[in-house]
Amino acid sequence: MKSIYFKAYDKMMIKVKKIIEKDSTIMLGRIVTGEAFIDQEGRDKIIEKYQPLCVDMETASMAHVCYVNSISFLAVRSMSDTAKESGNDVFEKYYKVAAEKSVKVVQRYLDSI
């Protein structure tokens, strides 16, 4: 690979930008992926270096499979917790709303193609 980044497919990004421009709760940006849960010190280092919208453990693996197989890709992620508010209680409180938001974006995208 020439870069440490997996870029989302430009044509998909154009459609998604149109979909989300009317919803200020949806963000578009960089996701950083790692292979383990990250403690606060590690989180601070990642944020300082990469300025991501979120950190997860899955997106890069999907992106890599798409890259190797020359498949266009775009990740839609919903966050149920944040750097300030995390844990099982927070997950339980927000997971349904987070999932519904992802579904809404994907449905709107599919309707646009």
In a domain, 2, yes or no: no
Are the CB atoms for 51 and 30 separated by under 8 Å? Answer: yes
101 — phi, psi (to 5°)?
Answer: -65, -45
In a domain, 98, yes or no: yes
H/E element holding 14? helix 10-20
In a domain, 1, yes or no: no
H/E element holding 99? helix 88-112
Q: Considering its fold, how many domains does the chain have in total?
A: 1
pLDDT (mean) for 52-61: 86
In a domain, 107, yes or no: yes
DSSP structure string for 27-44: ----EEE-SS---HHHHH
Judged against a pLDDT cut of 70, whether residue 83 lies above it is answered with no
Rounded to an integer, what distance in angstroms lies between the CA atom of residue 80 and that of residue 88?
A: 10
Judged against a pLDDT cut of 80, whether residue 112 lies above it is answered with yes
In a domain, 30, yes or no: yes
Q: Which domain does 35 fall in, by range?
A: 10-112
Q: What's the distance, CA 63 to chain centroid?
A: 11
Judged against a pLDDT cut of 80, whether residue 53 lies above it is answered with yes
